[in-house]
């Protein structure tokens, strides 16, 4: 397996395990509302979901960071750096739950903004049609960040709006993982 394929496998595995653990965490958190609760509510210790959610975030971030380090030899520097920032952000969110306010917000901003910017920075380096998908998901992630910070939730609630940041980012990680795992001799990336 080529290094870029290993990076793709790590991105794919990171995102898929997180989606599964997020779903389990939401299911075991009593009264959890995807509309009214922040995603990070799942990570507050003392609630059963934290024992699944926080390690899953650390795994997500660690695998994304390793993938970025592996990919740095063949991918452009800016998207690779932004993927690394995203990974570090996810690790930080997994370590510092929302009750540790400042570090949590800094790491969440790194994870969310890093992902959206990475998606956009890769557009010119990906083949069609995935480059268009990258642009749409990256733009969607960044737009959702702006809306959430502005207090505009589009009827989705704070948790639903936060998921409009997360879901495009996670979808992109799964897609990019598959894209990088494909063995294309003529690939731009």
As given in the structure block, the two tokens for residue 26 are: 């939401």
* Cα–chain center distance at 165: 9
Q: In Å, how far are 20, 34, 89, 97 from 11, measured between CA atoms? A: 14, 25, 15, 23
3-state secondary structure of 96: coil
**% residues pLDDT > 70 (the chain):** 96
What residues contact 140, with CB distance under 8 A and at least 6 apart? 164, 168
Query: What is the band of 186 on the pLDDT scale with cuts at 50, 70, 90?
Result: low
pLDDT of residue 188: 56
Mean pLDDT of the chain: 95
Write down the domain spans for the chain: 3-181
How do residues 138-162 score in pLDDT, each as one tens digit? 999 999 999 999 999 999 999 999 9
CB 65 within 8 A of CB 92: no
pLDDT of 86-112, one tens digit each?
999 999 999 999 999 999 999 999 999
pTM above 0.85, yes or no: yes
Residue 143's CB is within 10 A of a number of other CB atoms, namely 14
Separation of alpha carbons 74 and 121, rounded Å: 15
**Cβ neighbours, 10 Å, residue 109:** 16
Tell me which residue has tokens 């995603």.
39
Burial class (CB in 10 A: 0-12, 13-18, 19+), 153: middle
58 Cβ contact list (under 8 Å, min separation 6):
90, 91, 94, 95
pLDDT classification of 185: cutoffs 50, 70, 90: low
């Amino acid at each position: 397996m080529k290094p870029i394929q290993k990076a793709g496998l790590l991105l794919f595995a990171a995102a898929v395990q997180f989606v599964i653990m997020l779903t389990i965490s939401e299911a075991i958190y009593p009264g959890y509302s995807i509309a009214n609760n922040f995603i990070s509510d799942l990570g507050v210790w003392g609630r059963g979901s934290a024992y699944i959610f926080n390690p899953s975030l650390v795994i997500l971030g660690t695998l994304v960071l390793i993938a970025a380090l592996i990919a740095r030899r063949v991918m452009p520097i800016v998207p690779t750096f932004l993927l690394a920032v995203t990974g570090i952000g996810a690790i930080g969110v997994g370590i510092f739950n929302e009750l540790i306010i400042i570090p949590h917000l800094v790491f969440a901003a790194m994870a969310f903004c890093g992902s959206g910017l990475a998606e956009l920075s890769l557009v010119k380096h990906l083949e069609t049609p995935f480059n268009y998908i990258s642009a749409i998901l990256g733009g969607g992630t960044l737009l959702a960040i702006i809306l959430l910070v502005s207090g505009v939730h589009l009827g989705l609630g704070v948790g639903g709006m936060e998921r409009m940041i997360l879901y495009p980012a996670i979808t992109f990680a799964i897609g990019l993982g598959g894209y990088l795992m494909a063995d294309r001799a003529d690939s731009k990336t």
